[in-house]
C-alpha cells in the first residue's frame, strides 16, 4: 500500500500549485471530499507506488483517509527558477473509501501503520489487500505484480533475454522464421 503523511493545513499559492489549490494539508472538521482535494497530489511517487491499489493518508500518527487508486497522473511541474527543478510529481485519482470497505475499517481512525520518516511518501505490505500479495512477474525476477503479467518494463527485459539466448536480433529473426514461418501464421 501507498502511505502518505500530510501536513497541517497551510496556504499555498494557487498559481504555483500544480492542482491550483489555495491550501494543502489537514485540519480537524474537514469532510472526506475536502481532505481528498487538499491532499491527493502532488507527490513524488516512485516505481513501487505505480502498482499499488490503495493509498492511506495520515495526519500526525492517525490515518485520516483511505483511497482506492484508479490512476496516477503526472502533474506538470512548474519551473519556478532554472535552479528549482522538481522530481516528477503525481496526483492520485481514485475513490474515497468509507465505512464498510475493509481497507477503511482496518485503518481509518487508527494508528498510522508505518514508522516515522522524513519522506511523506512510504510503502508497506498488507497481504490481505495488496492484490492477494500479487503474482510473480512473468520475467522471472521474483518480484510480485498486482497489475498484469509484468512489472512495468519487465516485459521488454523478458523479450530481450529470449533474444539473447539465440544471439543477435538478426539471428533471432532468422531462427524465428524457421520455427514459425510467416506463411504459417495465417
Ligand atoms: Zn520482472
Over residues 28-72, the pLDDT tens digits come to 999 999 999 999 999 989 888 887 889 999 999 999 999 999 888
Mean pLDDT of 9-30: 92
- How far, in Å, from the CA of 149 to the mean position of ligand 1? 9
The pLDDT assigned to 82 comes to 55
Q: Which residue in this structure is represented by grid cell 519487465?
A: 154
Q: What contacts 24+ positions apart, CB below 8 Å, involve 166-170?
A: none
Strand partners, 122: 3
Do 148 and 101 sit in the same domain of this protein? Answer: no
Cis omega before residue 42 (within 30°)?
yes
Return the percentage of the chain with pLDDT > 70, whole number: 89
Mean pLDDT of 103-111: 97
Do 118 and 42 sit in the same domain of this protein? Answer: yes
- How far, in Å, from the CA of 166 to the mean position of ligand 1? 20
Are 89 and 44 a contacting pair, CB within 8 Å? Answer: yes
Least confident range from 7-16, 80-89, 131-140, 160-169: namely 80-89
The pLDDT-based confidence of 148 (bands split at 50, 70, 90) is confident
Do 54 and 74 sit in the same domain of this protein? Answer: yes
Element of type H or E holding 24: strand 23-24
- How far, in Å, from the CA of 162 to the mean position of ligand 1? 14
Of the residues 76, 106, 127, the one at which a domain ends: 127
- How far, in Å, from the CA of 152 to the mean position of ligand 1? 8
- How far, in Å, from the CA of 125 to the mean position of ligand 1? 18
Q: What contacts 24+ positions apart, CB below 8 Å, involve 155-158?
A: none
Do 139 and 105 sit in the same domain of this protein? Answer: no
Which of 124, 136, 111 is CA-nearest to residue 58? 111
- How far, in Å, from the CA of 148 to the mean position of ligand 1? 11
Element of type H or E holding 32: helix 32-39
Tell which wins on pLDDT, 140 or 64.
64
Summary mean pLDDT of the chain: 88
Question: Taking the CA of residue 129 as centre, how many other CA atoms within 13 Å lie in the half-sphere pointing to its CB?
Answer: 21
Of the residues 88, 111, 127, the one at which a domain ends: 127
Of the residues 127, 148, 167, the one at which a domain ends: 127
Return the C-alpha cell found at 84.
Answer: 528549482
Structural domain of residue 24, as residue ranges? 2-127
- How far, in Å, from the CA of 164 to the mean position of ligand 1? 17
Inform me whether the pLDDT recorded for 183 exceeds 80. Answer: no
- How many folded domains does the chain comprise? 2
Mean pLDDT of 66-89: 74
Residues whose Cβ atom is located within 5 A of ion ligand 1 = 137, 139, 141, 151, 154
Inform me whether the pLDDT recorded for 93 exceeds 90. Answer: yes
Do 121 and 138 sit in the same domain of this protein? Answer: no
Q: How much helix, strand and coil, in percent to the nearest 5, is found in the chain? A: 25, 25, 50
The pLDDT-based confidence of 16 (bands split at 50, 70, 90) is confident
Amino acid at each position: 500500500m501507498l502511505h502518505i503523511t500530510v501536513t497541517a493545513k497551510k496556504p499555498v499559492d494557487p498559481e504555483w500549485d500544480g492542482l491550483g489549490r489555495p491550501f494543502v494539508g489537514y485540519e480537524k472538521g474537514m469532510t472526506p471530499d475536502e481532505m481528498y482535494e487538499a491532499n491527493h497530489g502532488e507527490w513524488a511517487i516512485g516505481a513501487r507506488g505505480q502498482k499499488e491499489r490503495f493509498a492511506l493518508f495520515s495526519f500526525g500518527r492517525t490515518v485520516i483517509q483511505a483511497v482506492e487508486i484508479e490512476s496516477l497522473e503526472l502533474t506538470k511541474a512548474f519551473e519556478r527558477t532554472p535552479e528549482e527543478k522538481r522530481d516528477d510529481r503525481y496526483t492520485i485519482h481514485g475513490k474515497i473509501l468509507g465505512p464498510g470497505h475493509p481497507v477503511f475499517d482496518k485503518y481509518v481512525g487508527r494508528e498510522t501503520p508505518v514508522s516515522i520518516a522524513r519522506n511523506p511518501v512510504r510503502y508497506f505490505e498488507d497481504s490481505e489487500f495488496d492484490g492477494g500479495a500479487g503474482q510473480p512477474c512473468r520475467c522471472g525476477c521474483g518480484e510480485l505484480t498486482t497489475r498484469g503479467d509484468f512489472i512495468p518494463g519487465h516485459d521488454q527485459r523478458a523479450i530481450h533475454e529470449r533474444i539473447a539466448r539465440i544471439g543477435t536480433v538478426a539471428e533471432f529473426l532468422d531462427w524465428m522464421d524457421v520455427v514459425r514461418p510467416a506463411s504459417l501464421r495465417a
